Chains A and B, each alone.
Chain A
């Protein structure tokens, strides 16, 4: 167990370092698909640096919660991301928190973000918080049902165990896992404010959700919140990669080559998933706000269906 700590530390730093790049790549691909040149893939890093150097403007009646929330949001998201095995499994923190905890940690981050949106007392912040919580009230159970499906399938809620089970001989193909995958993808789109649900690239659109909540933020606070959003996207893609394409992930005690291979493959998986995400985003139109609950409801139903099928088929006869 103790040997895992360097890996854990490496992963903590890796998710932080890679997250802006992933966002940069998806933006770049999207721009190219739209026949624009697009900003450089390192633009998100530059944005963060620029924001950090700027003066912070805080509304007069903002409370301490407004100023503390970005750090809480970032910290919980970061810890959650560090719990997902990226290039190597067998993380020491993984034994401390399972997939349900990851979902709940993201819930804590969302809770604080929604409160921060309400703190200044503007109508935009309120609309963002209200809608974010409405989406979450369907997305979170959908995610949990997908988690249930995976856990029942693999007999564990630990991500490392699930990943190992998926690699093992007993996994096989299962319709429940396919349902969980679809549900997870829908949730990932919704939770990361991607296109059919929310538009990450706009301000000032009446249907915006995430951007409306953070409208009052500026300077370093905004930088921290943006970084949290980057990490969250990376988390979801890592999660999908870890569970559904676990091949090549280094196990604890693998040699240096194993880790290098795991790292390379992980980068490849992320790039591929990011590419697919961009393709999907360019191919589809944004939904009306009140179509989103139906969209997320589909994820919830699919997750429930997957769980139910496993409940029936995994039973002793």
Chain B
């Protein structure tokens, strides 16, 4: 591998973190979906590049899956759902954008601190790639926490899963089966959530999860 090769891999992994941050910053539903599509595209590129570097054809399939399902089908489907439900106005966040970004920076720092000393046997860039993957996972997790809206929570979950795939391709020799199963489980999760969305909509006329708490008799917290 030439230095340029690793540089490109590194750049792509880092771009995943960058797009994760941009996902956190979005406050429009459609922009969020678009950025998720970009997230998946970058993932596909990154996985594809790894496939080329590692001469591992099965990774190309993973990349293709990422491109097809996550960058095209799921965003388009979610787009339709959002239109159907008429919830494209804005995303309600629990925490403000500024603090969210600050916490995000903290999470990246944390994953670097955790990852770099643990994986001393690897090369410098591979270690940082792992740190990036962990950051993407943590940022996705945080997105699920800081958003009230079910659709954006789903996107947070899927960006989390993108981080897992990134980690898996970075670490050599992870079999394809695992990835396909992960991919499909996400698809299933997506379907389930999609159905749920409709059910919630029918019953409560909102997809704000706080409405569920209210119907359970809990008092809603102070809105941000």
Residues of A whose CB lies within 8 Å of any CB of B are 172-176, 178-179, 182, 293-294, 297-298, 301-302, 304-305, 308-309, 312-313, 317
Known contacts being A173-B11, A175-B15, is A297 close to B101, with CB within 8 Å?
yes
* CB of B7 closer than 8 Å to a CB of A: yes
Chain B residues whose CB sits within 8 angstroms of the CB of A174 once the complex forms: 7, 10-11
C-alpha gap A122/B146 in the complex (Å): 42
Known contacts being A172-B4, A179-B18, A298-B21, is A305 close to B11, with CB within 8 Å?
no
* CB of B86 closer than 8 Å to a CB of A: no
Known contacts being A294-B98, A302-B18, is A312 close to B13, with CB within 8 Å?
no
Chain A residues whose CB sits within 8 angstroms of the CB of B7 once the complex forms: 172-174
Closest B residue to A308 by beta carbon equals B109
Chain A residues whose CB sits within 8 angstroms of the CB of B72 once the complex forms: none
Considering only residues 1-59 of chain B, those with a C-beta below 8 Å from chain A are 3-4, 7-8, 10-11, 13-15, 17-18, 21-22, 25
Chain B residues whose CB sits within 8 angstroms of the CB of A309 once the complex forms: 14, 112, 128
Closest B residue to A169 by beta carbon equals B3
Considering only residues 137-196 of chain B, those with a C-beta below 8 Å from chain A are none
* CB of B87 closer than 8 Å to a CB of A: no
Residues of B whose CB lies within 8 Å of any CB of A are 3-4, 7-8, 10-11, 13-15, 17-18, 21-22, 25, 97-98, 101-102, 104-105, 108-109, 112, 116, 124, 128, 132
B108 and A308 form a contact (CB under 8 A): yes
B11 and A298 form a contact (CB under 8 A): no
B18 and A173 form a contact (CB under 8 A): no
Contact of B116 among A305, A308, A312 (CB under 8 A): A312
Contact of A305 among B13, B108, B124 (CB under 8 A): B108
B10 and A173 form a contact (CB under 8 A): yes
A304 and B14 form a contact (CB under 8 A): no
Chain B residues whose CB sits within 8 angstroms of the CB of A182 once the complex forms: 18
8 A–B contacts, CB within 8 A, in A order: A172-B3, A294-B98, A297-B97, A298-B101, A309-B14, A309-B112, A309-B128, A313-B124
B105 and A297 form a contact (CB under 8 A): no
C-alpha gap A301/B105 in the complex (Å): 7
A298 and B22 form a contact (CB under 8 A): yes
Task: Report the minimum CB–CB distance from B19 to chain A (whole Å).
Answer: 11
Contact of A178 among B11, B98, B109 (CB under 8 A): B11
Chain A residues whose CB sits within 8 angstroms of the CB of B8 once the complex forms: 173
Contact of B11 among A175, A297, A308, A312 (CB under 8 A): A175
A302 and B13 form a contact (CB under 8 A): no
Task: Report the minimum CB–CB distance from B16 to chain A (whole Å).
Answer: 9
Chain A residues whose CB sits within 8 angstroms of the CB of B109 once the complex forms: 308
C-alpha gap A132/B112 in the complex (Å): 36
B14 and A301 form a contact (CB under 8 A): no
B21 and A301 form a contact (CB under 8 A): yes
Task: Report the minimum CB–CB distance from A144 to chain B (whole Å).
Answer: 16
Chain B residues whose CB sits within 8 angstroms of the CB of A302 once the complex forms: 18, 21
Q: Given A178-B18, A305-B21, 15 more contacts at CB 8 Å?
A: A172-B4, A172-B7, A173-B4, A174-B10, A174-B11, A175-B11, A176-B14, A178-B15, A179-B18, A298-B22, A301-B104, A301-B105, A302-B18, A308-B105, A308-B109
C-alpha gap A172/B2 in the complex (Å): 11
Known contacts being A175-B18, A182-B18, is A313 close to B128, with CB within 8 Å?
yes
B25 and A298 form a contact (CB under 8 A): yes
A178 and B14 form a contact (CB under 8 A): yes
Known contacts being A294-B98, A305-B105, is A175 close to B10, with CB within 8 Å?
yes
A294 and B25 form a contact (CB under 8 A): yes
A294 and B97 form a contact (CB under 8 A): yes
Chain A residues whose CB sits within 8 angstroms of the CB of B4 once the complex forms: 172-173
Known contacts being A174-B7, A175-B10, is A297 close to B98, with CB within 8 Å?
yes
C-alpha gap A312/B130 in the complex (Å): 14
Chain B residues whose CB sits within 8 angstroms of the CB of A308 once the complex forms: 105, 108-109, 112
C-alpha gap A175/B10 in the complex (Å): 7
Chain A residues whose CB sits within 8 angstroms of the CB of B11 once the complex forms: 173-175, 178
C-alpha gap A175/B21 in the complex (Å): 14
